[in-house]
Amino acid sequence: MPRIVIVVSSEILANRKTLSRALINDVAPDTDFGVIVVNSSGEIAPAARRAAIDAEVVVAVGGDGTVSRVATGIFGSEAALGIVPLGSTNIIAKSLGIPSSPHAAMRLLRSSDARRVIDVGRCDEHCFLHIAGAGFDAEIFRHASLQWKRRTGWIAYLPPAMRALQQAAAEIRLTVDEVASTHTSPLVLVANGGSFISPNLSLFPGISYEDGSLDVLVFTCTTGPEMLATLASISTGRSESSQFVTRLRGQRVRIESNPPVWVEIDGDPIGQTPKDFAVVPSALEVVTPQS
């Protein structure tokens, strides 16, 4: 098995000429590498699992969902995760300081010194690296048009966000490290990473990829003005002062709700509540210029 194995969809490889050139020019000349082409999202984790048996680095080419699926495939192996960000938001890559240019991201893969060890979130058999969510955000990801995501990036999430605002808040029961609480909430986030849309927008101070904990943010805003006030507090970096945001921390989290609400991990809907989440400290090595 080559030292670096790249997992990429057939669609991306066919339509991204820049990526093809980066493969040839920035990796191939003096690096032992291989490419696994997948035809659906369901093939990504199994392909990464096969590659991780012998490869030193397994590379996710795509957006946050692809990155999480590759992480799921290599979880528990000795392989490091590489990322070439080609999705609509790429918040994982941005937060880890990975270059947005395919050429620069490919060149980074050749460096044996560019490494960072981070915590990994788990839900069912899935890994998530940045954020899981129950409620409002999962509805947005569920209904966002794939075609419009490819054309417009994050703007494609605005129409489903407007529809999701009409959804009533659910009665949420949270259990964080065996401590239970109840809330009326349209959205609960389980965060491993702390940024929102951009690395410059912090969801809440002190969230880290390397603290061995999950941060649970419960949003209790239920009216239009309350939601706008909450968004304003996040956009100005003052979410900790919002009366509509409650922060809890722990290593194990269970979310139950009435009625059941949809859950997403790193932008991928994975079903409805109840769901259990856990953090695995220092579980994944990532190729990144940030230490």
CATH entry, 131-281, from 3.40.50.300, 2.60.200.40, 3.40.50.1110, 3.40.50.970: 2.60.200.40
Q: Where are the domains of the chain?
A: 4-114, 131-281
Q: What integer pLDDT is reported at residue 94 of this predicted model?
A: 93
First to last CA, the chain: 28
Query: Which has more confidence, 9 or 119?
Result: 119
Q: Among the ranges 13-17, 110-114, 172-176, which has the highest mean pLDDT value?
A: 172-176
Residue 16 identity: R
Q: Which two tokens stand for residue 82?
A: 């590489």
Per residue in 225-240, pLDDT tens? Answer: 887 788 778 777 778 8
CATH for 4-114 (3.40.50.970, 3.40.50.300, 3.40.50.10330, 3.40.190.80):
3.40.50.10330
Answer yes or no: is pLDDT of 111 > 90. Answer: no
User: pLDDT tens digits, residue range 85-102?
Assistant: 988 789 999 999 999 888
Quickly state the pLDDT bin for 18 (edges 50, 70, 90): low
Quick: pLDDT tens for 182-212.
999 999 999 999 887 777 778 888 899 999 9
pLDDT tens track for 250-290:
999 999 999 999 999 998 999 999 999 999 999 999 999 86
Q: Is 209 in contact with 192 (CB distance < 8 Å)? A: yes
Per-residue pLDDT, 199: 77
What is the value of pTM for the model shown?
Answer: 0.89
SS3 call for 124: coil
**Which tokens go with 279?**
């953090």
Tokens standing for residue 77: 């192996």
What is the tens place of the pLDDT at every residue in 23-44? 666 665 566 888 899 999 999 9
pLDDT digit string (tens) for 154-183? 666 666 666 666 677 899 999 999 999 999
Query: Helix, strand or coil for residue 290?
Result: coil
